[in-house]
Structure 1
Amino acid sequence: MSRTCDVTGAGPGFGNNVPWSKHKTRRRWNVNLQSKRYFLPSEGRHVRLRVSAKGIKIIDRDGVEAVVQRMRAAGKQV
């Protein structure tokens, strides 16, 4: 399973470790993913989403119903 947020689509970032000697090695910055369970009142069931910290804030701001509706419009299965 890839490390991407279900809501924002954010994935890991890539770059270099650069120490004092300037010998660069590749590294990655993973997304702060959390597995959250939300209740959808319109369907009377729970959904489990793998969301980033920013995705959790978006759900808190817009509501889980609106976010799930946008995800389905984008073609994601919920």
Structure 2
Amino acid sequence: MSKSCQVLGTHASYGNSVSHSHRTTRRKFEANLQNKRYWVPSLGRRITLQVSAKGIKTIDRRGIESVVAELRARGELNI
């Protein structure tokens, strides 16, 4: 599985590290990914999602049922 949020699709981005003397070198900004288990009442079981911190807030706001329905429509979740 690639390192991206299953809900939002957030993934790593690239930029520069800037030192005190203002020299720049390339660096990678990783997404804040967490493995989180959610109880889905319609399925009657738990599912594990790899989501970013913002994705967790999105699930809290929209509800797990809505998010799971969207993931299944995209074909990202085969349950």
TM above 0.5, yes or no, is yes
| Percent identical residues | 51
* In 2, Cα distance between equivalents of 1:44 and 1:73: 19
Matches within 5 A, 1:25-64: 25-64=25-64
Distance 2:53 2:29 in 1: 14
So what's the TM-score if we normalise by structure 1? 0.90
What secondary structure sits across from 1:4 in the alignment? coil
Q: In the aligned structure 2, how far is the partner of 1:8 from the partner of 1:75?
A: 14
Q: Give the equivalent residue in structure 2 for 1:74.
A: 74
Residue 6 of structure 1: aligned partner? 6
Distance 2:39 2:30 in 1: 27
TM-score by length of 2: 0.89
What's the CA shift for 1:21?
3.3
Segment drifting more, 3-12 vs 13-22: 13-22
Cα RMSD (Å) of the superposition? 1.2
Q: Which deviates the most, 53-62 or 1-10? A: 1-10
Question: Within 2, Cα distance between the matches of 1:25 and 1:18?
Answer: 7
SS at match of 1:35: strand
Q: In structure 1, the residue corresponding to 2:50 is in which secondary structure?
A: strand
